Amino acid sequence: MGALTERGHEPAIFTRGRTHGDETLTLTRYVGDRDGGLDTIPRNGWDAVIDTSGYIPAVVAASCAHLMTAGRYLFTSSISVYEATAPIIGADRAPYVARDAMLADDAPQNYGSSKHRAEDFVRAVFDERAIVVRPGLIVGPYDPTNRFTYWVDRFAAGGTVAVPGPAQRFVQFIDARDLALFMIRLIEDGRSGIYDVTGLPSTTSMELLATTATTTLATDADVVWIDGRFLEANGMTGWMDFPLWLGPSLGMPGFMDVDVDRACTAGLTFRPLAETIRDTRTWSATAANSTTSVPRRESRVNASGRSLQRGKPSRPSDLNALNVFSA
């Protein structure tokens, strides 16, 4: 919301009123529920709608019907709409993930397919006034998911840090502030269509992340690269035990190799990695989820019967919703 007001817009927000965000911002507030409680929002008069929370197709369809006269409708989707087993995803090059008809639309297993079906409703109602943004991993200050914050806090804590290798393994993520600015620009520029939005592919390696973090945070972190097969052999799973690591057995190469050329052509920009790391740590240092000691997952690596050796990767034989509408 701050980015909208800073650029001279007059935003409004629609929430269930269960939590309170930054109340210092000057904006109009509507309280209701997307699932059957949209009547508090005026139907007409909106230049644009930014839908940040929708993913259940029927709920998104109701929002589109209620706000169909808006000048633009920007729907925040996800790269999870793609089948991640493809080597490269994005730009409609990868097939879409299939829906499990045996499960409800709000089941976690149907997240990607539900997002894709919700996109279809937005595009059907708004046509050339529809904007679909498919972000990858969103990071930065105020992110409680620990999917990126974990590494910032862990490097800040210092000491020996176990990191799934190899060191040149590429990762992709997008600072929430860069994403927000890009979304606003799409509306301001009168654009339409689909945009995959995350970091540049084959650019940020885990080694670069580790080096930038230790330098920016001025810590004594000593990185030890651990072979992914070794981690899996000792019961650790990709993403859950170590964020930004998918694990070799998951078979999801495309999740960290997303084509973002169309977004870059439309004006997507990236702030320096050091800035994202520094600002994330400034916030997380006082947040409840801050990592201040060696995490349990690293203790499990030590308990698996080996000692960590600096700079030498181990081998297998060594045995993370606010309902918001803005206008």
193 lies in some domain: yes
324 lies in some domain: no
Of 194 and 254, the one with more pLDDT: 194
Please give the Cα distance from 259 to 196 (Å, whole number).
7
Helix pair angle (57-66, 111-126), 10° resolution: 20
Separation of first and last alpha carbons in the chain? 10
Per-residue confidence (pLDDT) for residue 290, from 0 to 100? 55
275 lies in some domain: yes
Give percent of the chain above pLDDT 90.
Answer: 66
Stretch 283-300: mean pLDDT: 68
What is the DSSP code (8-state) at residue 89?
B
* Across 79-93, 145-159, 261-275, least confident range: 79-93
Q: What is the three-state SS of 213-282?
A: HHHHHCCCCEEEEECHHHHHHCCCCECCCECCCCCCCCCCHHHHCECCHHHHHCCCCCCCHHHHHHHHHH
243 lies in some domain: yes
Question: What Cα–Cα distance (Å) separates residue 283 from each residue in 65, 187, 207, 288, 290?
Answer: 38, 29, 23, 10, 9
Q: What is the three-state SS of 148-201?
A: CHHHHHHHHHCCEEEEECCCCCEECCEEHHHHHHHHHHHHHCCCCEEEEECCCC
254 lies in some domain: yes
Of 252 and 60, the one with more pLDDT: 60
Q: pLDDT confidence of 289, banded at 50, 70, 90?
A: low
Boundaries of domain holding 186: 2-318
323 lies in some domain: no
3-state secondary structure of 81: helix
* Across 33-42, 83-92, 149-158, 172-181, least confident range: 83-92
Give percent of the chain above pLDDT 70.
Answer: 87
Stretch 7-28: mean pLDDT: 81
CATH code (residue 219): 3.40.50.720
The token duo for 126 is 């708004």
Please give the Cα distance from 24 to 28 (Å, whole number).
12
- Closest C-alpha among 167, 259, 255 to residue 210: 167
Per-residue confidence (pLDDT) for residue 23, from 0 to 100? 67
Stretch 35-48: mean pLDDT: 94
Report CA torsion sign: 97, 99, 102, 108: positive
Q: Are strands 160-164 and 138-139 parallel, antiparallel or unpaired?
A: unpaired
The number of folded domains in the chain is 1
Question: What Cα–Cα distance (Å) separates residue 327 from each residue in 98, 131, 192, 221, 263?
Answer: 33, 14, 16, 44, 22
311 lies in some domain: yes
Per-residue confidence (pLDDT) for residue 317, from 0 to 100? 34
326 lies in some domain: no
Q: pLDDT confidence of 89, banded at 50, 70, 90?
A: confident
pLDDT at 318 over 70: no
pTM, full prediction:
0.88
Burial degree of 179 (CB within 10 A; 0-12, 13-18, 19+): buried
